């Protein structure tokens, strides 16, 4: 139960000890990173290029707007030639009681998390995976398993995504497309941790109630995603892999 190396800020790690074969993804992989903010993306892409020596293409996308996804997928295919893996991790979240949550706030989170995952998966399937196969990994959460307070918007959206994982796995399996999900618990050094009170919970000792008695780190989630994305999981589809140190089993509101 020792955490692997990580870095607590939005930077690349200075060193990394491989726990899988370094050529698990055919000697690493080129990446496309997408979000609404091209300035932040461009900076992140520069860091990734210098840390990995691989290509990284930053493209502005709003996952609520299918036409921006279509343009991004076309640009990616033109530049990189093929797409093997899609990671759906666009999400919006904040803590808010139902009484204060506006109709628009609930809709906004559903649109980013659920419609965004559907839109992106469908565009990539139609434009590439349908004919070439591929692997999709969605990033979910355990919030809805026990109805965590202040999280009806994100919990509902992620529950829909978990169902979507199974539906797409069934429909797209015959085309050689695997669809799986990782459901992380509290993960240090992330926007979710900052927004959802992770630091406060840690200082208050709340993570001692987690069976593994600590928050997770980003490297641990990367390892879970890499497993599902890669050929190591060649017979795994429609699975939800919970990577939360056992947290949801013992506490609904940590
Ligand atoms: C209540 C809020 C709110 C808040 C926004 N809203 N923030 N309501 N509390 N803190 C309301 C607004 O008032 C508005 O409703 C509606 O939500 C839409 O807000 P906009 O700012 O116009 O929308 P948009 O720019 O699209 O922003 C979306 C967002 C934002 C979700 C609200 O926070 C965002 O884009 N975040 C992106 C990054 C992010 O959240 N990452 C962390 C994911 S963590 P009205 O009615 O006023 O118009 C995560 C971890 C999961 O997912 C769990 C791990 C354990």
Protein residue with its CA nearest to atom 41 in ligand 1: 92
* Measured distance CA(228)–CA(235) in Å, rounded: 10
- What average pLDDT does the segment 37-52 reach? 97
Decide if pLDDT at 204 tops 70: yes
Which pLDDT value is given to residue 173? 99
Q: Which residues sit with their C-beta closer than 6 Å to ligand 1?
A: 91-94, 96, 102, 104-105, 108-109, 112, 141, 143, 154, 186, 191-192, 195
Ligand 1 pocket, mutate which of 37, 68, 89, 93 (most atoms under 8 A from CB): 93
Which pLDDT value is given to residue 28? 84
> Which residues fall within 8 angstroms of residue 119, CB to CB, at 6 or more apart?
63, 64, 66, 69
Which pLDDT value is given to residue 27? 77
Which is the closest atom of ligand 1 to the Cα of 64? 26
What phi and psi values does residue 49 have, to the nearest 5 degrees? -60, -45
Which is the closest atom of ligand 1 to the Cα of 244? 55
* Measured distance CA(248)–CA(254) in Å, rounded: 9
* Measured distance CA(83)–CA(76) in Å, rounded: 8
Ligand 1 pocket, mutate which of 108, 149, 151 (most atoms under 8 A from CB): 108
Decide if pLDDT at 254 tops 60: no
Ligand 1 pocket, mutate which of 94, 157, 186 (most atoms under 8 A from CB): 94
Q: What is the pLDDT of residues 94-146, one digit of tens each?
A: 999 999 999 999 999 999 999 999 999 999 999 999 999 999 999 999 999 99
- What average pLDDT does the segment 51-60 reach? 97
Protein residue with its CA nearest to atom 14 in ligand 1: 105
* Measured distance CA(133)–CA(172) in Å, rounded: 9
Protein residue with its CA nearest to atom 5 in ligand 1: 105
* Measured distance CA(109)–CA(117) in Å, rounded: 12
Q: Identify which of 203, 165, 202 has the alpha carbon closest to the alpha carbon of residue 187.
A: 202
Q: Identify which of 201, 199, 218 has the alpha carbon closest to the alpha carbon of residue 209.
A: 201
pLDDT > 70: percent of the chain? 99
pLDDT > 90: percent of the chain? 94
Q: How many CA atoms lie within 13 A of 22 on its CB side?
A: 4
């Amino acid at each position: 139960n020792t955490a692997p190396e990580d870095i607590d800020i939005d930077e690349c790690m200075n060193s990394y000890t491989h726990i899988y074969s370094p050529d698990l993804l055919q000697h690493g992989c080129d990446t496309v990173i997408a979000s609404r903010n091209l300035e932040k993306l461009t900076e992140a892409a520069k860091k990734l290029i210098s840390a990995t020596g691989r290509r990284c293409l930053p493209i502005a996308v709003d996952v609520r707007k299918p036409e921006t996804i279509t343009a991004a997928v076309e640009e990616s295919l033109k530049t990189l030639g093929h797409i093997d893996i899609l990671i759906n991790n666009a999400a919006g979240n904040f803590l808010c009681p139902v009484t204060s949550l506006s109709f628009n706030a609930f809709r906004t989170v559903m649109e980013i998390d659920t419609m965004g995952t559907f839109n992106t998966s469908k565009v990539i399937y139609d434009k590439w995976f349908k004919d070439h196969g591929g692997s999709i990994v969605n990033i979910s959460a355990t919030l809805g398993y026990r109805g965590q307070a202040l999280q009806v918007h994100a919990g509902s959206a992620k529950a829909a995504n978990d169902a979507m994982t199974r539906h797409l796995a069934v429909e797209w399996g015959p085309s050689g497309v695997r669809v799986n999900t990782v459901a992380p618990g509290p993960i240090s050094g992330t926007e979710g941790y900052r927004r959802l009170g992770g630091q406060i919970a840690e200082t208050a000792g709340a993570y001692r109630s987690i069976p593994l008695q600590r928050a997770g780190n980003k490297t641990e989630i990367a390892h879970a995603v890499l497993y599902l994305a890669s050929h190591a999981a060649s017979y795994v589809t429609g699975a939800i892999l919970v990577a939360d140190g056992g947290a949801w089993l013992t506490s609904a509101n940590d």
